[in-house]
Structure 1
Amino acid sequence: MTETDDSLLSATDIRRIAAEVGLRPTKTLGQNYVIDPNTIRRIVASARLGGGSHVLEVGPGLGSLTLGLLDAAEAVTAIEIDPTPAARLPRTVSEFRPGSEDRFSLITDDAMHVTEADLARARPAAATTGPTSLVANLPYNVAVPVLLHLLAEVPTLTSGLVMVQDEVADRLSAGPGNKIYGVPSVKLAWYAQAEKAGVVGMNVFWPAPKIRSGLVRFTHREPPHTTATRDEVFAVIDAAFSQRRKTVRAALASWAGSPQAAEHALVAAGVDPRARGEVLTIEDYAAIAEHRPSPDITEETS
């Protein structure tokens, strides 16, 4: 085992391993590796993992966060899209955490393509359940789609902590009435209660990004009680924010078939047609989706 600060990867370790495998981080894959052990400890502590947690990690890269997660959780399943660091990661786990190999598994694929069945097949031998917590340094350019995909695909997730672009962290954790409340905020609220858990500077990464990162912690919540499907509710959200300066009556006109039909649905859902999308809760959007006018009503009100 390499001598490091509490056996976490140091900047020297990370650069050595990267050179060994010929890895040059790319902007395309959003590869910015944490090189500061204290930041890893902070992320793990902020995730509030229990000893029985099975962590799902996206983008483990060279293993900086993976090792910290193995110290705090029962098991870790990592998803890595780049085959170069993926091929080295099991060896890093063996070197720095000997004896923990049965608590770790790796899927080499795009996280957007990973299914619950894939995770079941790759479950670490020591894991007693499917993934219960998502903890990841998500690539900036795909952070929101990956987060929403995994929350939809992995029903065993009950909590998580993700590191994303600071501006995105603010949006994900924003509540109704906030000027940055938008599509990511509302869709995440379908699955979880979110809060911002801190800011991470640029110098703890290699290569250093040009913007700060933010931590978002979330806890599972049941979706609103509704007869509408998630896709139907999300369609309303997308329509409402496609023209966020307009009232929801105007913004939902195309979705409903006409401004009058949109007003009919809003009134039936108990929502003020003069309101704007950024003041509505996920429950409001679910209620609106439930009351989408039938084609007959749309024709009558056109």
Structure 2
Amino acid sequence: MSSTDPEALLGPADIRELAAALGVRPTKQRGQNFVIDANTVRRIVRTAQVRPEDVVVEVGPGLGSLTLALLEAADRVTAVEIDDVLAGALPATIAARMPERAERFALVHSDALQVTELPGPPPTALVANLPYNVAVPVLLHMLDNFPSIERTLVMVQSEVADRLAAAPGSKVYGVPSVKANWYADVKRAGAIGRSVFWPAPNVDSGLVALVRRAEPVKTTASKRQVFAVVDAAFAQRRKTLRAALAGWAGSAAAAEAALVAAGVSPQARGESLTVEEFARIAENAPVARNKELGQQ
């Protein structure tokens, strides 16, 4: 199922040559930093535990460094690319460098945040070097819209990786931590140096591994209702939950009642709560509030 040609993957000279031929200059606006090291992309594929039967979706394939490494290991790869020039060039790169796998590659030319359907079999894994500026929204969007994704490995800015994998009580535990944990068990899976990118970013990168929960969070509240509590709790981090949730509940007294009913101290702060505790608070929200969220 894999390519044995060591020249199939892209190296630094290949990346620069492709970029020059296409007139591509990486832009900060789209968070473009291309991986130029073949060992790094193979390491990402190994860390992602990509299997021969996997259908992998990749977001932001760029010039195709990681895409080619994924095609070596997976059954199929679907890449989602927003950039017109990069999307236009990628199929030809795949066909030229890995012709025996080209029929197992599909391209979706779109903004990943707008994608709700993918061609071919449902994806079983998400592996991506996510653009730093939209990493968390894209990750949550893909997990929400494609429940068939069992395993995820994303490369993001190191600080974002820390936030996604943070546990309750951590200084960096926040909205991304809770929302990612709604879908999956999350952990840091390594660090990536700046020198493997072109252009080299001004920040370090980290790998985050997510394994979808075997069972969803047990709650009668909807995801929208739970996430509304999470957003409110962290909008004013230094405040107690009684104060932070006053706007969400309609008043501080209503917030306190919901917290007490959920078995959560009104004096606690959002960074100390698990996703299950946030769900219990949502369950005990004022009836009018949950009805309003349920209709949105």
TM-score by length of 1: 0.92
Q: Does 1:156 align with 2:157?
A: no
> Which of residues 215, 238, 242 in structure 2 aligns to 1:245?
238
For 1:46, the equivalent position in structure 2 comes to 47
Residue of structure 2 equivalent to 1:232? 225
| Structure-to-structure mapping, 1:136-285, within 5 angstroms | 136-221=128-213, 222-285=215-278
> Which whole-Å deviations, capped at 9, do the CAs of 1:68-110 have from their partners, x for residues lacking one?
0001111000000001011111111111111212210000110
Distance change >3 Å, CA 259–CA 57, structure 1 → 2: same
SS in 2 for 1:216: strand
Aligned match of 1:82: 83
Residue of structure 2 equivalent to 1:300: none
Gap regions ≥5 residues in structure 1: 124-128, 297-302
Shift of 1:20: 1.1
Question: 1:92 and 1:80 mapped to 2: Cα distance?
Answer: 14
Q: Is the 8 A contact 1:5 1:37 kept in 2?
A: no
Alignment of 1:91-130 (within 5 A): 91-116=92-117, 119=118, 122-123=119-120, 129-130=121-122
In structure 1, the partner of 2:294 is none
What is the CA–CA distance in structure 1 between the aligned matches of 2:288 and 2:204, rounded to whole Å?
48
The two structures have a TM-score, normalised by structure 2, of 0.94
Q: Pick from 115, 133, 136 the counterpart of residue 125 of structure 2.
A: 133
Q: Which one-letter code corresponds to 1:132 in the other structure?
A: T
**Partner SS, residue 197 of structure 1:** strand
Distance 2:224 2:175 in 1: 13
TM-aligned CA deviation for residue 7 of structure 1? 2.1
Distance 2:166 2:216 in 1: 18
Superposed CA offset, 1:111-147 (max 9, x none): 001113xx0xx22xxxxx3111110000000000000
The separation in 1 between residues aligned to 2:157 and 2:197, in whole angstroms, is: 13
CA contact 1:166–1:214 (8 Å) conserved in 2: yes
What's 2:293 paired with?
A: none
What amino acid sits opposite 1:100 in the alignment?
R
Match of 2:10, SS state, is: coil
- Alignment match, 2:292: none
Matches of 2:248 and 2:57, distance apart in 1: 36
SS in 2 for 1:142: helix
Contact 1:197 1:216 in 2 (8 A): yes
Aligned-residue offset at 1:12: 0.5
- How many residue pairs get aligned? The number is 284
How far is 1:223 from its partner? 2.6
User: Aligned-pair distance for 1:5?
Assistant: 4.5
Once the two structures are TM-superposed, the CA of residue 6 in structure 1 deviates from its matched residue by 4.5
Could you tell me how far apart the structure 1 residues matched to 2:288 and 2:61 are? 49
Whole-angstrom CA distance in 2 between matches of 1:50 and 1:62:
23
d(CA) in 1 for partners of 2:46, 2:53: 15
**Helix, strand or coil: the match of 1:65?**
helix
Shift of 1:65: 0.2
For 1:228 and 1:284, the matched residues in 2 are separated by 12
For 1:292 and 1:233, the matched residues in 2 are separated by 10
SS in 2 for 1:240: helix
Structure 2 counterpart of 1:14: 15
* 1:295, distance to aligned residue in structure 2 (A): 4.9
Aligned equivalents of 1:156, 1:224: Cα separation in 2: 17
Helix, strand or coil: the match of 1:134?
strand
Percent of paired sites with the same residue: 60
Question: Secondary structure of 1:49's match?
Answer: coil
Rounded Cα–Cα distance in structure 2 between residues aligned with 1:256 and 1:270: 16
Instruction: Give the secondary-structure state (helix, strand or coil) at the position aligned to 1:180.
Output: coil
4+ residue stretches of structure 1 with deviation over 6 A?
none
Q: Structure 2: which 5+ runs fail to align?
A: 290-296
